[in-house]
A and B are shown apart, each in its own frame.
Chain A
Amino acid sequence: MHRLLVAMTVFTYLFILLPILVVVVSAFSPTEFFVFPPPGLSLRWFATFFGTESMRNAFTLSIQLAIVSSILATLVGTMGGLYIARRRGLAASILQGIFLAPLVFPAIVLGLSLLLFFKLLGGMPAFTGLVIAHCVLGMPFVVRSVAASVLAVDPVLEEAAQSLRAGPLRGFALVTLPLIWPGILAGGIFAFILSFGELNAALFLTGPGISTLPIEIFDYLQFSVGQLVIAAASALQIGLILIVVFGLERLVGLARVVRS
Chain B
Amino acid sequence: MTKLVMTRRLASFALLAPPLFVSIIFFIVPLGLLFWVSIHGSSSSELYSDQITAENYIAIISDSFYLTIVQRTLGAGATILALCLVFGYATAYVLAPLSPRARLWLLLLLSLPLLVSNVVRAYGWLTLLGRQGLVNVVLQKAGAIDAPLVMLNTFQAVAFALMTIMLPYMVISICNALATIDSYYREAAQSLRANPFQTFVHVTWPLSSPGVASGMLLVFLMSLSAYVAIVLLGGPRMKLLVSLIFDSAATFRWPLAAAMSFVLLAIALVVCALILMVLRPQRVQGRG
Q: Which residues of A contact B (CB under 8 A)?
A: 4-6, 8-9, 11-13, 15-23, 26, 33-34, 36, 75-77, 79-80, 82-83, 95, 98-99, 101-102, 104-110, 112-117, 119-120, 132-133, 135-136, 139, 143, 168, 193, 196-200, 203-204, 213-214, 217-218, 221-222, 226, 230-231, 234, 237-238, 241-242, 245, 254-255, 257-259
Contact = CB atoms under 8 A, between A and B. Distances in A.
Interface in B253-283: 254, 257-258, 261, 264-265, 268
B151 interface: no
B109 A9 contact: no
B231 to A, nearest CB: 7
B47 A23 contact: no
B95 interface: yes
B93 A258 contact: no
A108 B123 contact: no
Contact of A222 (B28, B47, B110, B232): B232
A-B pairs with lowest CB-CB distance, top 4: A19-B124, A197-B117, A80-B19, A106-B225
A75 B110 contact: no
A107 B119 contact: no
B87 A11 contact: yes
B34 A258 contact: no
A254 B108 contact: yes
Contacts of A230: 123
B19 A79 contact: yes
Nearest to A217: B119
Contacts of B90: 4-5, 8-9, 12
Given A23-B120, A168-B11, A237-B116, A102 B94 contact: no
Contacts of B176: 259
Contacts of A143: 19
B116 A22 contact: no
Interface centre among B12, B26, B246 (most CB of A within 10 A): B26
A36 B87 contact: no
B6 to A, nearest CB: 13
Contacts of A257: 108, 111-112
B258 A79 contact: no
A115 B250 CA distance: 12
Contact of A241 (B95, B115, B225): B115
A45 to B, nearest CB: 13
A82 B20 CA distance: 13
A95 B28 CA distance: 12
B224 A106 contact: yes
